Structure 1
Amino acid sequence: MTRMHNPPHPGEVLREYLGTITVTEAAVKLRVNRVTLSRVVTGSSGISADMAYRLADAFGTSPELWAGMQLQYDLHHASKLKRPKIERLAA
């Protein structure tokens, strides 16, 4: 898997998928709380595995699409963190 340079939060992509559908309408269709969906769309929360399946069903995509976007986003931001040097474990 190639890493994307500064990938967007999946909520930004979801916002495009929603088009003119409001967060409230989409939350009802997805059977989730409006606040939960709003937090994803605004980038305050990530996409869980359950949400990935719901979005896949709603938009005719795959859950891997949504989970993969979240993973790329998380890995990109994790790569920016300072961490201690880790020695290799003997195999």
Structure 2
Amino acid sequence: MLMHNPPHPGEVLRELCLEPMGLSVTAAAEALGVSRKTLSAVLNGKAGISPEMAIRLSIAFDTSAESWLDQQSQYELWHAEQHRKELKVKKLVAA
């Protein structure tokens, strides 16, 4: 079941992980082993959560990698569904 307009996982990361811990983007990026630019792109919704990033987040915040990937998938699917009627697809049926 799709969530109605789910937040980008970067927003969740910022609000539920970084802010409560008082972590700056720079400090969090260093701890995750990624560049500040990479983490900033995720936090600002310019990049998604990759499988590798999901694993990094799961290690750093003691969460599951699957939860991060699920959030990303729900976000992308909801946005794609907003353009469903624009897709030119024919229904296939067995002969």
TM-score by length of 2: 0.89
Letter in 2 for 1:21: L
Q: Distance in 2 between matches of 1:71 and 1:62?
A: 15
Unaligned runs of 5+ in 1: none
What do you get for the CA RMSD once the two structures are aligned?
1.3
Q: Distance in 2 between matches of 1:6 and 1:71?
A: 12
Aligned residues with identical type, % of pairs: 52
Letter in 1 for 2:38: T
Letter in 1 for 2:53: M
Unaligned runs of 5+ in 2: none
After superposition, residues 24-35 of structure 1 pair within 5 angstroms as 24-35=26-37
Tell me which protein shows more helix as a share of its residues. 2
Structure of greater Rg:
2
Q: Distance in 2 between matches of 1:89 and 1:40?
A: 40
1:5 match: secondary structure: coil
Provide the residue aligned with 1:41 in structure 2. 43
